[in-house]
Amino acid sequence: MAKDTVRLTVIRGLMTAFTNEAIVKGRTPQDKLTDEEALAVIIRSVKQRKDSIKQFTDAGRPELAESEQAELTLLEAYLPAQMSKQEIIDYVAKRKSELGVTDASQSITLIKAVMGELKGKADGKVVKEAIDATLA
């Protein structure tokens, strides 16, 4: 029963976030978002939960962190399968050679290409770490 309450809270929160996103985009609340826009909303919600978990844990409030973790688990089910750290590293190295990036001064080219292609499939922090390591 408790899990159903968490699921209901998450779904209501997403529906509100989708409506708000439509309004921000200059549409009516009844307008549908594109798949990419909906994915961006879900990714933003996941990041918010992760930040909350860290803050609650740092503040010594594990009971609040647990609640956020339960919501995070449900939200992550709506995301595409996430790439592993090694898959990200391999992908970045491959794109680096394909684009002919040789040093850190060309990093913006690599960052734009990789981040655009892996959006929603990989954690941005891990992608950044892989790019930095590849260019080091």
Structure-token pair, residue 28:
């009516």
Distance CA 43, CA 85 (A): 18
Q: What is the pLDDT of residue 119?
A: 82
What average pLDDT does range 20-47 have in this prediction?
A: 93
Percent of the chain scoring above 90 in pLDDT: 64
pLDDT in tens, 63-113: 999 999 999 999 999 988 889 999 999 999 999 999 888 888 888 888 889
Superfamily covering domain 2-76: Uncharacterised protein YqeY/AIM41, N-terminal domain (1.10.1510.10)
What is the pTM assigned to this prediction?
0.76
- The CATH number of the structural domain formed by 85-135 is 1.10.10
